[in-house]
Amino acid sequence: MPCSALRFLALTSGALLALRHVAAAPEPSPKVFGLDFTKQVPRNTPESYRLRKRQNTVSVDISNEQIAYIINMTVGTPPQSFSVQLDTGSSDLWILSDISDACQQSPDVCQQLGGFDDTKSSTFVEIGSEDAFQIQYEDNSQVTGDYFNDTLAIGETTINNMTMGLALQSPDRAFGIMGIGYDSDESIAEQSPNDIYPNVVAQLVNQGYINTLAYSLWLNDLNSNTGSILFGGVDTAKFHGDLVVLPIQPSSNASYTDFTVALSSVSFIDATGKTALSQNNLALPVILDSGTTITYVPDSTLDPIMSGIGAINSDELGGYVVPCSLSCSSATLNFGFGGNGGPSIAVSFAELVSPIYLDDGSQPTLKNGETICSFGMASGGTGPFLFGDTFLRSAYVVYDLTNNQIGIAQTNYNATSSNIVEITGSSIPGASSTASGAAVTQTYMGHPQETLPATKKAGSQATGSFPSPTFSLGSCATSASKNSGGSTGKSSAVGVVPPRIDAMTAVTGLVCLVSMVFGGSLVFMM
């Protein structure tokens, strides 16, 4: 990757953006608490987030526009403030130490997003041996430090004796992560299963704040600034149609470690309403992972879609790219789960097509002025197939870790009303039915092996333009595709704030830009 050296800087400068006050939203019903989070849009970096905890080691390179879902919290007595990324694909909560490499390099970022000074907390207790905390994510980032217990407050909720990681080495991440998966997926589980500790969700139950190990995630629209997480309950005003329950699929040894569900169909409905592609009777284990930016599918699904929409795979831009004007296509990709009668989630192009920002803050364009956007899907090779934010934004998802089930429905974007119901027993309130027609086993314990895309062919690129889509996609107003940078058309997901540039990244950015040539044939305007 020509720009990999920029990763840290890129993350840190992006990290200054888009953080807003996070309001605790306690609701009348008992034992439920909601929290708004803000979306953070860091600048384009060589890697998109793939926060699912890794099981062993293989590396993949992939870059993309990335959005992190951020919540605020405090740690210690007196409280010190932190902004952390919410992640369903891992299970540890960690924050940066103020003496970590990351904080030494970017003190201003730590000041804003949090760098923990343990000497100033009277409730701090170090636990375990030094450097016992180690976690590596699917995107190859690695974090090392110590475990500690301290008081954690999220909104109005205070958890005593919360076990967390205190990162001392975090070369790639400028702020911490709150993993809210199964305890059994904690990073300590592999070496030392007896040391598995109650993570945040478990502590909310243990300390009496919620009744069930469950929460609902409403990521909301790509273009809106906030979404929310509701611990212990379901907000029935945040989705359309039926909420359908899917069994979470255990791994091959019958344990539950991640949110694997059975994908049973994929279809592409074009702009005229016609089914341009239909794959039924799939039985594919896919993992719902909010810490992953895009959606990874098998080549047999990806290839026909990418050629149908005329996408090009670009190493330099980190994956599949399309004209930004496609974001207003009315075509949808529909994903069906759980077999016959199971739920189907329609994902619109507005959610899949997102802007890319170069290090100078501009957007890449073709010679003819057409703005280039990323398309939020990639090859998952032989697995795992991570369904990240480009899918999850279209769904309202209830994660019930007590009963090993997922409730899923089409999201209600920008819903302003609220109807919160507590999850108490073994059923998810508001759920209309259960899909159990398909069972799959998550046997894959490794990492995505990306394969070279079929669409990366010389012919289409030599012309310096995108290949013509074979699916009927409709078109946007003509003005929409001519922008670079601050766009005014509705084509390019303009609600996303372009990143701010600081002097250091701008300088390094130049080095990166020079080497950015698309597979040798599509050339950027600079």
Ligand X SMILES: *[C@@H]1O[C@H](CO)[C@@H](O)[C@H](O)[C@H]1NC(C)=O
Burial of 454 (0-12, 13-18, 19+ CB in 10 A): middle
**Residue among 183, 221, 289, 389 flagged as catalytic:** 289
Q: Which of 25, 99, 127, 346 binds ligand X (CB under 6 A)?
A: 127
Only one of the segments 45-53, 247-255, 318-326, 500-508 lies at the binding site for ligand X (rule: CB under 6 A); that segment is 247-255
Binding flag, residue 330, ligand X (CB under 6 A)? no
**Assigned token pair, 402:** 């007590």
Q: Does residue 354 belong to the site contacting ligand X (CB under 6 A)? A: no
Which CB sits closer to ligand X, 162 or 358?
162
CA 300, CA 321: separation in Å to the nearest integer? 19
Q: Is residue 106 within the footprint of ligand X (CB under 6 A)?
A: no
Q: Considering only 92-100, 250-258, 362-370, 371-379, which stretch makes contact with ligand X by CB under 6 A?
A: 250-258
> Other CB atoms closer than 10 Å to residue 136's CB: what's the count?
16
Q: What count of other Cβ atoms lies within 10 Å of the Cβ of residue 275? A: 10
Question: Any catalytic annotation for residue 87?
Answer: yes
Q: Quick check: 217 and 397 in contact, CB under 8 A?
A: yes
Is 462 a residue that touches ligand X (CB under 6 A)? no
Specify the DSSP element, H or E, that contains 35: strand 33-40
Q: Are 242 and 343 in contact (CB under 8 A)?
A: yes
Q: How far is the CB of 203 from ligand X (least distance, A)?
A: 7
Q: Is 229 in the site for ligand X (CB under 6 A)?
A: no
User: Site map for ligand X, 251-270, x if CB under 6 A?
Assistant: x-x-x-x-------------
Using alpha carbons only, give the angle 392, 396, 399 rounded to the nearest 5 degrees. Answer: 90
Of the pair 446, 464, the CB lying nearest ligand X is at 446
* Cα-based distances in Å from 250 to 55, 305, 362, 399, 443: 16, 29, 44, 14, 9
Backbone angles phi, psi at 286, to 5 degrees: -125, 150
Between 198 and 342, CB nearer to ligand X = 198
Other beta carbons within 10 Å of 14: 23
Are the beta carbons of 109 and 174 closer than 8 angstroms? yes
Residue 486: CB partners within 8 Å, gap ≥ 6?
Answer: 494, 498
414 scored as a contact of ligand X (CB under 6 A):
yes
Tell me the per-residue interface mask from 490 to 509 with ligand X, x by CB under 6 A, - otherwise: -----x--------------
Closest to ligand X by CB, 118 vs 221, is 221
Closer CB to ligand X, residue 265 or residue 492?
Answer: 492
Is 518 near ligand X (CB under 6 A)?
Answer: no
Q: Which of 58, 108, 120, 125 binds ligand X (CB under 6 A)?
A: 125
**Nearest distance in Å: CB 237, ligand X:** 15
The sign one gets for the Cα dihedral 317, 322, 325, 331 is: negative
Contact code string over 186-205 relative to ligand X, x by CB under 6 A? ---x---x---xx-------
Residues 1-40 that bind ligand X (CB under 6 A): 19, 21-22
Q: Give yes or no for residue 92 binding ligand X (CB under 6 A).
A: no
Least distance (Å) from ligand X to the CB of residue 35? 10
Q: Tell me the CA distances in angstroms from 230 to 33, 104, 244, 248, 473, one per residue in order.
A: 6, 35, 18, 19, 36
Enumerate the β-bridge partners of residue 216.
230, 398
Of 4, 105, 112, 404, the one binding ligand X (CB under 6 A) is: 112
Residue numbers annotated as active site? 87, 289
Residues that bind ligand X (CB under 6 A): 19, 21-22, 72, 81, 83, 112-113, 123, 125, 127, 149, 160-161, 163, 184, 189, 193, 197-198, 221, 223-224, 251, 253, 255, 257, 413-414, 495
